[in-house]
Structure 1
Amino acid sequence: MSSMKVAKGRILVGKYELGKTIGEGSFAKVKFARNVQNGNYVAIKILDRKHVLRLNMMEQLMKEISTMKLINHPNVVRILEVLASKTKIYIVLEFVDGGELFDKIAANGRLKEDEARNYFQQLINAVDYCHSRGVYHRDLKPENLLDSNGVLKVSDFGLSTYSQKEDELLHTACGTPNYVAPEVLNDRGYVGSTSDIWSCGVILFVLMAGYLPFDEPTHMALYKKIGRAEFSCPSWFSPQAKKLLKHILDPNPLTRIKIPELLEDEWFKKGYKPTSFTEEEDLNVDDVVVAFNESNENLVTERKEKPVSMNAFELICRSQSFNLDSLFEKQTGQVKQETSFTSQCPANEIMFKIEEAAKPLGFNVHKRNYKMKLQGDKSGRKGHLSVATEVFEVAPSVHMVELRKTGGDTLEFHKACENSLSLLLIQKYKSHIRKSATQI
């Protein structure tokens, strides 16, 4: 297929046109992107070279990415290729359009046992495959589980070491380790395979219960409960499920159930279908080696200091399952980590109004061009809530405002959006638009 046109002002990395940010953390940003040569959609994880160098993890990161590049399993998000510029490392990933499994639970509540078992079986398939190749996750949680029409995809396998290292430096007192095994919290050394199994058990509990087995208001109380594996299963759990969870959430890593035993468990085996797939033979890591060689550069076009014009590609990648209606109408039953609305106000006035609305709600505001970061001054259940906002030009005199959670608890973000920030902003814009129309 011939190359497709790239809209004016777009950022191009190699053959990929970058779109919206679909994920953001302390150490990396993930952007939706399109291959301009064939039109395929991908996700690109962008790492800052300086951060990697500062942590002395360039060699380790290259090794882990190289290992993951060779992983080809239907339940693991694939690394397609790796690119680099003078300042960034770009990890091109398979794009999963279904969103996080966490969103499904937050929107609809707990899953039925059979459905939860199906996802858990797929999770164990992915974990077992990666463990067999010496790759451990160390940060398994529903936010790292993507759902593509019932097919589970585990993200960030093999990349969590860097993530955790960065977290330790930047968020020592933030976050709630609800999914972390006792031996990891004790910081006395641990085996990646057994700690991953514990996290899988917590995930299974959340899928079936709709809430966490270990959840306390303070870190000290939480650590004690996890260390003693103090939890109780709700009445709707079957006896077989309760029995398996007791074996998985065993605080002693030496006696905790291993994957070979788990695969023989009666509850687990019900309806189980081993994953069938063909591994590719031409996988290689040449691009990884080249990307980490600083002499190889992929130039990125500079972004102009004005609101980015949103073309059809941007509109599509901002939609829920490519449904454009979700851009302008509130979708019932959908819990996401972002929200958006449109305004006819000039872009600079929109920025001013956002700041004016956010500060009384306890947000510290950091602005750059037509982007803004709102940082909550109070620590919530999973640290400080932070929200990234950006203004886009949809058409002349029409702008889209996007608010996206970048830190803190997802449910707290939705509570803030639904009960205060989002409503206040929308009310202000509606009022402002009406006043403008009256003046005209």
Structure 2
Amino acid sequence: MAPPQQPPRTINRTTSDGGTIIFNKYHLTRLLGRGSFAKVYHGRSLIDNSSVAVKVIEKPAAEDPTMEPRLVREVAAMRRLNHQNILKLHEVMATKTKIYLVMELAAGGELFTQLTRRGRMKEATARFYFQQLVSTLHFCHQNGVAHRDLKPQNLLLDDKGNLKISDFGLSALPESHKDGLLHTSCGTPAFTAPEIIRGKGYDGAKADAWSCGVILFNLLTGYLPFNDGNLPNMYRKMHTREIVFPDWISKQPRVIIHKLLDPNPKTRMRVEKLMGLAWFKKSLKPDPAVEDDSISLNLIKCKTGVNAFDIISLSSGLNLSGIFEEKVKKEWWFTSTADAEEIKKTVVGVGERLGYGWKKMKDDVAGLVKGRVVVLVKVAEMVAEMVLVEVTVVDGGDGFSEGEWEELKVGFQDDVVSWHDDVQ
């Protein structure tokens, strides 16, 4: 089987309809929205004609000290969390001036737009969205991720009206915790738990539970429970739980909202308990199945010291490690189910055909040597029955021809599960 063709890295061109084709893979058409750091376009895949959303981030914005960690968190969280109610990230691509996040298209738009049009929702409708939100958050928390910026603007709808949680740029991954707590103040004030504002450390899952209480109130009333143009007044209302319920909210959701909006995180109702309540379970569909994606890999189960960028690199096109720096190396990565010894035998065989000598560097690294050209092949176990193989030209790279590179790739093709090519 021949290796998949990699698209040219920087070929973008304008079409007659005013759109843009990027990497010969996606046709960007109309603008769907814009934010402080990015624009989102409707895109069409030139491979299977499917519709996607493409977030375009200008390189200067990505280099902003506040934007870079947001981008890292968003990509890492979305690749970690494969769930039918979480917006799926297909791939990430980059040129020297732009970063492209190719994502699932949420054709139904923002839940906020639906709420604005309706004014408020019927209890059954609000519960339908609330069930999907809470169940999906429970999945996130089980995988060590707290969203930290939950609001109707970040809750999207697909073409069937199902919820899609998006914008994980402020999310907290397991490695963000210090002494079991988070310490970064972030989020939208009207939806942010009071303990985040205090800045003394907080539980991300409990903070998300607070946001769920605000969202449920918002869905049922059309307005916010603590809305006040004066921030100190709003925070005072939060700390004293000053909630005024309209007559049309029934007793059970009132109790749930009251318990979720407990300013004391120690006594606040947890998501797990909420999911066991009769009102929540009414007309509840079975929990969404978690999609199996053996290539993206659950970072919680990763046994080695590789970082988020390394894991992201396991899927074709998802290497962000060089986005923020100009230095470029010749390197190629792939994942394989072959064991380390089989990979090393392949290295020797391919090297001999290309006229390279073989040299063992250390236990997990083999070298192909010809004159000044040295090609290192490093094998690292990722999870059970899966290894990551990194091939890098580290010396005399100018003497390593493209033809040799392609022949080297062909030599490994039987061992490859997922490719990533970063040759420039």
Query: Normalising by structure 1, what TM-score?
Result: 0.59
Aligned length: 281
| Counterpart for residue 263 of structure 1 | 275
Pairwise CA distance, 1:160: 2.3
In the alignment, is residue 207 of structure 1 matched against residue 215 of structure 2? Answer: no
Aligned AA (1:115): T
Shift of 1:186: 2.2
User: For residues 129 and 86 of structure 1, do their structure 2 counterparts lie closer, same or farther at Cα, with a shift above 3 Å needed?
Assistant: same
Q: Quick check: 2:239–2:263 contact (8 Å CA) kept in 1?
A: yes
Which of 26, 33, 36 is the equivalent residue of 2:43? Answer: 33
Q: In structure 2, how many angstroms separate the alpha carbons of the residues matched to 1:124 and 1:283?
A: 27
2:123 aligned with 1:103, yes or no?
no
1:138 is displaced (CA, Å) by 0.9
- Larger RCO of the pair (alpha carbons < 8 Å, separation 6+): 1
Gaps of 5+ in 1: 163-174, 298-440
- Indicate the SS of the match to 2:63: helix
- Which residue of structure 2 lines up, in the alignment, with residue 82 of structure 1? 92
- Name the residue aligned to 2:340: none
Tell me, yes or no, if structure 1 residue 22 matches structure 2 residue 22: no
Identity of aligned residues (%): 40
Aligned position for 1:7:
15
Deviations along 1:35-84, one digit per CA (max 9) or x if unpaired, are 12211111112223333333176467436513421321111111111111
The amino acid across from 2:151 in the alignment is: K
Look up the match of 2:206: 194
* Residues 289, 107 of structure 1: alpha-carbon distance in 2 compared, 3 angstrom cutoff: closer
**More helix per residue: 1 or 2?**
1
Partner SS state of residue 197, structure 1: helix
* 1:153 matches 2:164: yes
Give the partner amino acid of 2:19. R
* Corresponding residue number in structure 1 for 2:59: 49
> Greater CA deviation, 283-292 or 55-64?
55-64
2:321 maps to what in 1? 292
Cross-structure match for 1:281: 293
Give the one of 185, 189, 197 matched to 1:177: 189
Cα offsets for 1:376-421 (capped at 9, x unmatched): xxxxxxxxxxxxxxxxxxxxxxxxxxxxxxxxxxxxxxxxxxxxxx
Q: Residues 225-268 of structure 1: CA distance to partner in whole angstroms, max 9, x if unpaired?
A: 12222112111111111111111010111111111111111221
Corresponding residue of 1:91: 101
Q: Which runs of 5+ in 2 are unaligned?
A: 1-6, 8-12, 173-186, 297-311, 331-424
> CA offsets, 1:355-385, max 9 Å, x none?
xxxxxxxxxxxxxxxxxxxxxxxxxxxxxxx
Q: Which has the larger radius of gyration?
A: 2
Q: Which runs of 4+ in 1 moved over 4 A?
A: 56-60
Q: How far has the Cα of 1:19 moved from its partner?
A: 1.9
Tell me: CA distance 1:142–1:57, structure 2 relative to 1, closer, same or farther (3 Å): closer
Once residues 20 and 220 of structure 1 are traced to their aligned partners in structure 2, the CA distance between those partners, rounded to angstroms, is 41
Looking at structure 1, the residues matched to 81 and 137 of structure 2 have their Cα atoms a distance apart, in angstroms, of 11
* Structure 2 partner of 1:139: 149
The aligned residue for residue 426 of structure 1 is: none
- Distance in 2 (CA, whole Å) between partners of 1:31 and 1:108 is 26
Give the one of 117, 120, 125 matched to 2:130: 120
- Aligned equivalents of 2:61, 2:321: Cα separation in 1: 14
1:92-116 Cα deviation digits (max 9, x unpaired): 1100111111111111221111111
**Is contact 2:70–2:170 with CA below 8 Å preserved after alignment?**
no
Query: 1:216/1:6 Cα in 2 relative to 1: closer, same or farther (>3 Å)?
Result: closer
Over 3 Å counting, the alpha-carbon distance change for 1:53 and 1:186 in structure 2 is same
Give the aligned CA root-mean-square deviation in angstroms. Answer: 2.6
